[in-house]
Chain A
């Protein structure tokens, strides 16, 4: 079946540094990948999404590139801010289109 792997459970960084959160996936069909962000006590919200191979997708300073050759969709930002502290989920849409398979999430903690 489909699966999404996020290898880091917790990432702690100092404000202003770059970050990369890892996401790899397994599927037998053409993938559609998402990043959702969940701030403390809030609802998860879509950050960005893509199905186009080797094309960079950007939103709110975050960016990711889907690489089908390596089954990866890593999330990056060049300079993290305190407000970026949150839980980040990578997700894969199934071939039916409606069911998302989520990774276990990566908590990003940004220190002053």
Chain B
């Protein structure tokens, strides 16, 4: 089992450009999460899918961020018109069902986004 795979590992964009981040969850896991990691804020919840359906996007900045899960093997996080404050490590995680309070999240190594 390769774990959660995120690509690219690093992405540099210019201000105003679009960035698309990819995540492949662990095979058989039905829940996928996106978190953003910064030194100041730590890990912040962005959005959550269960069985490919969007369940909770309460952490997503509404105007420029969007996430999709077109099939059970990958999810994408798209940031339009990137701004310097979007610079962060974006972490994807999966879990087996996404419905239990005690469930373990399995994280990918993240995509480090740098907006110049």
Contact = CB atoms under 8 A, between A and B. Distances in A.
A51 B91 contact: no
Size range of the interface on B?
Answer: 20 to 34
A102 B107 CA distance: 14
Nearest to A41: B109
Contacts, number: 64
Contact of B100 (A43, A95, A97, A99): A97
B86 to A, nearest CB: 19
Interface in B16-71: 31, 33, 35, 40-45, 48, 50, 55-56
B45 to A, nearest CB: 5
A32 B102 contact: yes
Contacts of B95: 98
B41 A104 contact: yes
Given A89-B42, A104-B41, A105-B42, A98 B98 contact: yes
Contacts of A93: 101-102
Contact of B45 (A46, A95, A99): A99
B91 A99 contact: no
B91 A98 contact: no
B3 to A, nearest CB: 7
B41 A32 contact: no
27 contacts: A32-B102, A36-B105, A36-B107, A41-B109, A42-B109, A43-B4, A43-B91, A43-B106, A43-B109, A44-B91, A44-B107, A45-B107, A46-B104, A51-B101, A89-B42, A89-B43, A93-B101, A93-B102, A97-B103, A98-B55, A98-B103, A100-B45, A102-B43, A102-B44, A104-B41, A104-B42, A105-B42
